[in-house]
Amino acid sequence: MSAAVAAVPSWVQRQSRNPNAVVYTALVVGALIYPTVVQFVNPEQANPLIGLASDAGVYVLMAIGLNVVVGFAGLLDLGYAAFFAIGAYTYALLASGQLALSPAHHAVHLPFWLLLFIAVAVAAACGALLGAPTLRLRGDYLAIVTLGFGEIVPRVFRNLPQWTGGVNAVPAIDAPSLPVWLDGPWDNGADLQIVHDLKLTAGQPVGFYLLMMLLVFVSVLLVRNLQRSRLGRAWMAVREDEVAAAAMGVNTVTIKLLAFSIGAAVSGFAGCYFGAKLSSVSPENFTFLVSVTVLLMVTLGGMGNIPGVIVGALVIYFVQYKILGDLPGWTSSIGSSLGLPGKTVTRLSDLATDLNFVVFGLILVTTMLLRPQGLVPSRARQEELTKGTASEAVADVMGTA
């Protein structure tokens, strides 16, 4: 007992040198206190800010999924948004009145929690389906085929108006509901009571926020398990040297298929959530830009490292939707406070709007120049690699002290 207690400080000390542990801790603490903090700091903007964070979660999920494909297995996928679209449309069609208008003539309203699994299964199956004919290709060729797939899928949804509503989007998608919920003072000072069939609506972003936290938590847990398993090692072996991996008994085709499939599965989560939160899904939500943005998040965050890609996703999302979005506003308020004439201020803020992507590009280039390995780089098997040196050193210090 006392030995266990005595071991705690050294354990904490060890973990504090492990960047991943530090980042995970920061993320968990940040996620837990975020809703309360924005409530205090910016009460009028609290709901939009919480909504923004849970939308960022969509990208976090996709980054975690794409990291399996790109980071672990080393397969360049430029059409990842396709699986996101498939997940979103799975939810949209099976939880709305849309199918009543289709040749099927029957609206389907399955519960969100069931569809979460169905969407994951459908996305995973599509991942395998795409993978099967293409995974014989390598490198650039694979990238081009996935690029094509990423373009084809939204087009299919757009050009099947009798099923998907085409460009008009699938409207009025069901909101997820909780069968039982304990309401209390934490919800705007309501009385303590048990609520049945609580619908999560856009008006209560905290519910969606918690849902997103749950999805991210589960995804991280599962993908982390995979990374440290037989399968994760095989992915890395294929990434490092495909020929040697095959000669060691790794069925490279199956392994790559699994990477595609599991990567796609995570974006099934993301798609399902996306459809439920937005309550409308249109082909315009799944452009090439989405695929590229997610790839960017993975690369910038630290390919192959789960906390890295989470940080990457959050940073890029924040830059894109908060900093770049607010840039014209900031420019004009700075201009006015400097006493510039109104015309100049308008010009400046227009310029800021025009230069949005230049600023974004500059931020990206600067980050990659400063940290080419990513924000939180992958330390494959960090614990193992340092066990031989760091913990021994700690033991030495403890022993002589």
Partner 1 sequence: MSSDPHILRLDSVTRRFGGLTAVDRVSFHVRRGEVFALIGPNGAGKTTLFNGITGLIPPSAGTVTFDGTDITGLKPHRVAWMGIARTFQNIRLFDYMSVLDNVRVGQHCRMHAKVWDALLKTPLARSEEHEVEDKARELLRFVGIEHHAHNYARNLPYGQQRRLEIARALASGPSLLLLDEPAAGFTPQEKVELMRLVERICAEGITVFLIEHDMKVVMGISRRIVVLDHGEKIAEGTPEEVRTNRRVVEAYLGRSA
Residues at the interface with partner 1 (CB under 8 A) = 222, 225-226, 229-234, 236-237, 240-241, 243-252, 258, 262, 380-381, 384-388
Tokens matching residue 238: 């294929």
| Beta carbon nearer to partner 1, 235 or 274 | 235
Nearest approach in angstroms of CB 253 to partner 1 is: 9
Q: How far is CA 77 from CA 73, 146, 272, 292, 350, in A?
A: 11, 6, 21, 9, 36
CB 23 within 8 A of CB 311: yes
CB of 380 to partner 1, least distance (A): 6
Smaller CB distance to partner 1: residue 241 or 326?
241
Rg (CA), the chain: 23
Q: Specify the DSSP element, H or E, that contains 145.
A: helix 139-158
| Block residue for tokens 């679209």 | 85
- The residue among 5 and 243 lying less far from partner 1, judged by its C-beta, is 243
Q: Which is nearer to partner 1, 231 or 345 (CB)?
A: 231
Closest approach of partner 1 to the CB of residue 252, in Å: 7
Least distance from partner 1 to the Cβ atom of residue 26, Å: 25
In total, the chain counts a number of residues equal to: 401
Considering the complex, what minimum distance in angstroms separates the CB of residue 75 from partner 1? 16
- Report the residue number, 198 or 255, with the smaller CB distance to partner 1: 255
Q: Which is nearer to partner 1, 146 or 378 (CB)?
A: 378
Q: In whole angstroms, what is the distance from residue 49 CA to residue 38 CA?
A: 7
Q: What angle do CA 366, 57, 175 make, to 5 degrees?
A: 150
Q: Quote the least distance from Cβ 20 to partner 1, whole Å.
A: 16
DSSP string, 252-316: HHHHHHHHHHHHHHHHHHHHHHHHHHHS-B-GGGG-HHHHHHHHHHHHHHHTT-HHHHHHHHHHH
Question: Rounded to the nearest whole angstrom, what is the least distance from the CB of residue 195 to partner 1 in the complex?
Answer: 32
List phi, psi (to 5°) of 189: 65, 30
**Token duo for residue 382:** 């960090």
In this complex, which beta carbon is closest to partner 1, that of residue 203 or of residue 249?
Answer: 249
| Long-range contacts (CB closer than 8 Å, 24 or more residues apart) made by 294-297 | 294/59, 294/62, 294/63, 294/66, 294/80, 294/81, 295/66, 295/70, 295/77, 295/78, 295/80, 296/364, 297/59, 297/62, 297/63, 297/66
Cβ atoms of 271 and 89 closer than 8 Å: yes
Q: How far is the CB of 33 from partner 1 (least distance, A)?
A: 29
Which of residues 82 and 303 has its CB atom nearest to partner 1 in the complex? 303
